[in-house]
Structure formats: C-alpha cells, structure tokens
Structure 1
Amino acid sequence: MSTRIGRALRLAGIAGIALVATGCASSRMLDRHADCVAPAAIPQAYDAGQGERAARLSVLIYNVEGLPWPARKNRGPSLQRIGETLQAMRAKGSAPDVVMLQEAFTPAARDVLVQAGYANIVSGPGRKTRRGAVAAEIEPTFKKARKRSKGERFGRLLNSGLYIASDLPLAVLAAEPFSRRACAGFDCLANKGSLVASLRVADMPSSLVLLTTHLNSQRAARVSLDRARQAHGYQIEENAMLLKRVRGRDAPMVMGGDFNMRGDPGRFEAFAKAQPYTIVHEFCVNQPEVCTTKMSFDGDEPWLDTQDLQAYDDGRDVRIVPVEIEAMFDGLRGERLSDHDGLLVTYELRWPAARAAQASAYPLCPI
C-alpha cells in the first residue's frame, strides 16, 4: 500500500476516507471470457530437440498505482495511456501473452485491460470477499495489538486490486483474500490477497497455473517494521497453503506481483522457506548464457532491489526456463506511468513430445 494512503488518512481522517473510498473504489471487479481464441494469439509449439516440444510465453506484472482520491489525484490519463500502449502492442503482435495487475483498485485502473483488448480477464477478491481457504494461525499478541488509528480495526475499504488477463483461455482456481487479521497498518484497508488461475498453452500436456499477489508493505504500513514483517510472513504462509490446495502436484506454475520484499533479506528468507520457487532475477543473474537481461541490475542481489518479482516452479511433465527479463513502462521501454516499473519475463515451456496434447483443443475464432 502506498505511503500516500497513510498520508491521506492522517490529513483527512479515517471516517472521511471511508466515505470517499467506498464510493469510488469498491465497484464490482471485472471479469470477462471469450468463447474462442484468435489463431494469432496461440503460442506456436516447436521442436526443442532431445525429444521435447516447447513454446514461449511472455508474462508482464505491473503495479499500476490505481489508487483512489485523495490518496492519489488525476491517475486517469496515465492509466489510459497504459491501456493504449498495450493495445498498440497487441495490434503489432508484440504484447505480453499474460498481464498481471496489482493495485488496480479503481474502475479506471481495471479498465486498463479493457482498453488493451485482452479477450479474457479474471479478477481477485472483491472488497467484501471473505477468506474461505485455510488461514494462518495468528498469534494472540499480534491480534490484540491492532490499532484503529493505523487502519487495522476499520474494515476493508478497497478491493484486492488484482487482475490477470490473456487472449488464451483462463479459469479461476481461487480468488482468496488474506485472513482478516493477517495484515498490518494501513494495508488492512485493502482486501489484499491472491488470485490463482489456470492457463492453457499450445499443445502443452497440462495447464499452467498463474498466481498474482500483493503482500503487506513495509514502512508504508505506518507500523513498526517488525509488525509489518510478521503480517508479511502470515500472508506468505497463507499463499503457500492456498497453492498446496488448488495447484495440483503435476502443474507447472508462474507467480508474480508486488512482493514488498525490497531491501529486507528477512522477508526474502521467509518467502524462500515457505515457497521454495525459483526467482527469475536470481536465475537470470546465475544463468546469463540462458536468460538475456534487458534491464539494469544494481548490485549482486537485484532481487532485493525491487518489490516486483516473478517466480516459477516446474510441473511433472513441464519444465520452465526464463529466457528473457526486461522492464516496461520504465521511461526507456514505454513511458513511466506508475510509481512501479512493469516487469516482463519471457519463459520457454518444455515438455516431452510424447506427452504433447492437441493444439486443436482450442475453440478457434473464425478468421
């Protein structure tokens, strides 16, 4: 959650913000599904040698800073330009295959994907959604220490702000908020959580599981760093339990979002322990001959220099290899239109040729 939300709350008072935020940011989440797939949108599977087939899939994660007034003013034009940029890329055939948005709280933010023209859009938890999955066991002292003045006892004013979009078929596996006490500070005003969906790719033998999430912030939460870190740990635990329930052991997975772990090795260590997946930044640093880096990496551990990360895990029959990582909307590739850059990763998905499914399983749109 942005520091602007905390600043606005102190200036205007929580009661005033409640009236404004509930009115302009709690509108219904957006979902839409196409009945067919345009042939041009289907990644082409190819012979990768050694008895394997492969296809490439690009995934963009982007925190679009879609905050309501008075936390943020005049976001509409920038959000519209994000949508227009993606729309232009789709027209040229160069758009990301998958887009995951975070902090898309307002209608203008969610409409980025409508403007872009993606055929399928699925959304995360709404403002009033309650967690149905197993929750972390919250320490009594952590619950007791909640403060209304920090937004922790005021209920949810915003939805999750999470979306996944693609021209390929998407199916929601889970849209779960974090449990009501697994948050700290002003982050508790949004119904943060996770969105999990499955995506059908080319003639791959199993669907790809996608997860996007937005974890508890650090100083922006306006509570002690220890308290914010403890909430972050609960959320990591709840994501791990959710994936264990809905993913299936055989399915490959890509996850991405605003992990809020920048500069905090403790948070990163907790994530790596609970969800031992490969961070793309780490892979691309260690395997430069495999993964091309088209962005600036500062220092030896660039995964600690950003909030926005992608991670992946192989399935039984499908291996995942990042082959390119780059920034978008960073002022170099695309205008800078948010307080975050977009992170675009291209993956090569590989599977045994003998296990290939039939690409004709897609319902194709007439040309």
Structure 2
Amino acid sequence: MAPQFPIIPGAAPTPLRGANQTGDLSVLTYNIKAQPWPLAMGRASAAAAIADRLAAMRAAGRQPHVVMLQEAFTDQARRIARQAGYRYVARGPAHVSPGPRAPLGGAYARARRWDRGERSAAVFDSGLLILSDYPILRTSRFGFPAGACAGFDCLASKGVLIAWVGVPGRDQPLAFVDTHLNSRHSTHVAPGRADAAQAWQVAQLRKAIAQAIDPRMPAIFAGDTNVGLVPVRMAAFAKHPPLGDGSRDTLAEALATLHVDRGSLAEADAIMTRHKDMILARDGQTLRFDTLGATVPFAVDGRGALSDHAGFLVTLRLVDRTST
C-alpha cells in the first residue's frame, strides 16, 4: 500500500564508476536539540560547540563520513555542515504534506487541543539534516500530513528524509534514511494520544521507505524514533520495522561483540536502555554491512552534554557479497 502522503523525488541517481572494493563507512546520528528561544535557551552556543567537535574529529581523521541530525531547527544548526567541513547536505521536508483531513480518524481529530499546538499550522520544518563527505546524488523528502501528530510535536513538520549517497568504490549509491518520530511526555497530551500518533507514523514510515527504496538496495536508517520501553510503541516498531525484516541494530551488534570504545561503554548501554536513538542497517543484494565498532563522541550523561540525547557513531565495513 502506498503511503498516505506524497513523496517528492529528487534527480535520478547516477551510477558510480569504479572497481568494487571493501571499504569502511562511519555514520553518526544525533538529536542536537537545536530549538529556538523561547523553547530552549543556549542552543546556538551548543550547536556551535557540536560543529567545533566535528571539525576537531575531522582534523584528527576521525570524522563520521555521514551525519544524520534531528532537531536541527535553527540557522546555527544548519551551519554545522559548513563549519565541520561537510561538502554535501540534504535537508528534510519544510512543510507538512497534503493528506487526509483526519489521518488518525475523526475522534482523534475532534480531540485536538489548541493550547497544545494541535490546531495551529506547523511553525518549524522537520529539523532533519544529512551531512556527507560523499556526493548526495538524490533525495526524497516527505512530511506527515496535518493531524498526524500529537501535542507540541505538531509545531514541527514531522517527516522523513532519504538521501542516496555515492560511496567511493561502490557501483551504486547507498540509501540513508533520517527521521524523528512523535515524542511522548514532552507532547503534554495524554500518553495514549501521543502513542497513537507515533504508531501511525511508524506504519507510514515503513510504507514510504518500501515505496522509495528498492528492497534489494543496501540501506541505513537512523534517527530519534521515540520508541523507548513503552510496550505499545515497541509493538508498533516491531510490526513495522523501518527497513523491513532482516535489518539489524548496529549499536547492539557492537555491544554484543565488545567492539565499543572503552570510554563509551556506559553511554552506549544507556542509549540501548533508552531505546530511542538508533542506527539500523539492511544488507543489499550485492553488498553486506559488517559492524566493526561504535563510539559515543557526544555524551549525554554528566557535565558538558551538548544535547539531551547522545550522539553515537558506528563504523561499518562494506563487503561485496558476490566475492564471498
């Protein structure tokens, strides 16, 4: 079934020329909480500090090749790419998409609260950014329609960003998916209402990705899913995994094989416990991802945190399945 909102395609992907070879790819996901005043204070300086740290990682030769950001709402946040040295940037949807007037049903729509932002138009864009050292050859971006949200999350144009990235040594690009789904307690509406919106988004996310990305293509999904340890949210995510059956949680793999930087173990365990920020990988017909390791360059626990989420990085080896 097609998603209930339109996909806005970019240019067709261009095949990359060059010999197939094994290589490594590093990916970072980070909800940077770059919200404008008066929603949050001090976020411009935090975004600048995030850019400085990414630039320092680049100077040391340790920068992630691809960065998936969420809540990058401000101008300072959108300057992170340039300040950190990323040549290619893809930006998520700027507006909600046309769709059914009551995507979650009439009763849900009638219960909208004006004092929780549910009856006003979205004020912000999606806050999604993908930064890349490698060429972004094509993008697709789509926003969930008005009404497919709960509480204060309706002030942002929730949606999904897909970028096809030309990785050196690969004949075809890799698909990267970035999203930020409806939160729970910070919506300031009843938890059941927030859960219903998040479950609807999970289901539509899966349908949209299935339509946009060839199932034979290798893909990486990252973002703030807001699943947590809430049973109804966990059930919805398990029923509609974004990349379909067979995708793997790369941070869980790194922890299971003890391939997490020693100084990041506690943070990595906490990320898994919170069960919100994820990097999932799906092998393709001719390409396999092997998880080499993980680290958490942006900690959330203790002093000096730059966001209320941790930013973590996984390193993947790209293995040609036809040669193994």
**Fold match (TM-score > 0.5):** yes
Aligned to 2:36: 68
The verdict on how the C-alpha distance between 1:148 and 1:337 changes in structure 2, with shifts beyond 3 A counting, is same
Q: Contact 1:325 / 1:346 at 8 angstroms: preserved in 2? A: yes
- Shift of the alpha carbon at 1:231? 0.3
Alignment of 1:219-298 (within 5 A): 219-275=185-241, 276=245, 277-285=247-255, 287-288=256-257, 291-292=259-260, 294=262, 295-296=264-265
Structure-2 separation of matches of 1:299 and 1:181: 35
Structure 1 unmatched runs, 5+ = 1-43, 47-52, 356-367
Contact 1:216 1:231 (C-alpha < 8 Å) held by counterparts = yes
* Alignment partner of 1:319 is 2:288: yes
Q: CA deviation at 1:269?
A: 2.4
Matched residue of 1:262: which SS? coil
Compute the displacement of 1:139 (Å): 2.3
1:268-312 residue CA offsets vs partner (Å, 9 max, x unmatched): 221121114322233334x416x4454335899963424211111
Structure 2 CA distance, aligned partners of 1:186 and 1:218? 10
TM-superposed CA distance for 1:218, in Å, is 0.7
**Structure 1 letter corresponding to 2:292:** V
Q: Quick check: 242-251 or 294-303, which moved more?
A: 294-303
The alignment covers a number of residue pairs equal to: 302
Match of 1:308 in 2: 277
Cα separation, partners in 2 of 1:299 and 1:283, compared to 1, 3 Å = closer
- More displaced 10-residue stretch of structure 1: 95-104 or 107-116: 107-116
Shift of 1:111: 1.0
- Quote the offset at 1:81 in angstroms: 1.4
- 1:307-347 Cα distance to aligned partner (Å, 9 max, x none): 21111111111111222122122179995211211111111
In the TM superposition, what is the alpha-carbon distance from 1:54 to its structure 2 partner?
2.0
Q: TM-score, normalised by structure 1?
A: 0.75
Max radius of gyration: which structure? 1
Counterpart in 1 of 2:55? 87
Q: Which residues of 2 match residues 323-338 of structure 1 at below 5 A?
A: 323-330=292-299, 335-338=304-307
Aligned positions of 1:1-367 closer than 5 A: 53-126=21-94, 129-131=95-97, 137-275=103-241, 276=245, 277-285=247-255, 287-288=256-257, 291-292=259-260, 294=262, 295-296=264-265, 303-330=272-299, 335-352=304-321
Whole-angstrom CA distance in 2 between matches of 1:334 and 1:328: 14
Deviation of 1:242 (Å): 1.2
Q: Hey, what's the Cα distance between the residues in 2 that align with 1:299 and 1:202?
A: 29
Q: Go from structure 1 to structure 2 and tell me whether the alpha carbon gap of 1:197 and 1:134 turns closer, same or farther (over 3 Å shift).
A: farther
Backbone CA RMSD of aligned residues? 2.8
- CA gap of 1:202–1:299, structure 2 versus 1, over 3 A, is closer
How many Å separate the matches in 2 of 1:263 and 1:231?
16
> In the alignment, is the contact (CA less than 8 A) between 2:199 and 2:236 conserved in 1?
yes
d(CA) in 1 for partners of 2:159, 2:268: 31
Contact kept in structure 2, 1:229 and 1:267, CA below 8 Å: yes
State whether residues 251 and 268 of structure 2, in contact with CA within 8 Å, keep that contact through their aligned partners in structure 1.
Answer: no
Q: SS at 1:296's partner residue? A: helix
Measured in 2, the distance between the counterparts of 1:171 and 1:305 equals 34
- Which amino acid is 1:344 matched to? L
- Given that residues 267 and 301 in structure 2 are in contact (C-alpha distance below 8 angstroms), is that contact kept between their aligned partners in structure 1? no
Matched residue of 2:265: which SS? coil
**TM-score scaled by length of structure 2:** 0.85
Q: Which runs of 5+ in 2 are unaligned?
A: 1-17
Tell whether the 8 Å contact from 2:69 to 2:223 is kept in structure 1 after alignment: yes
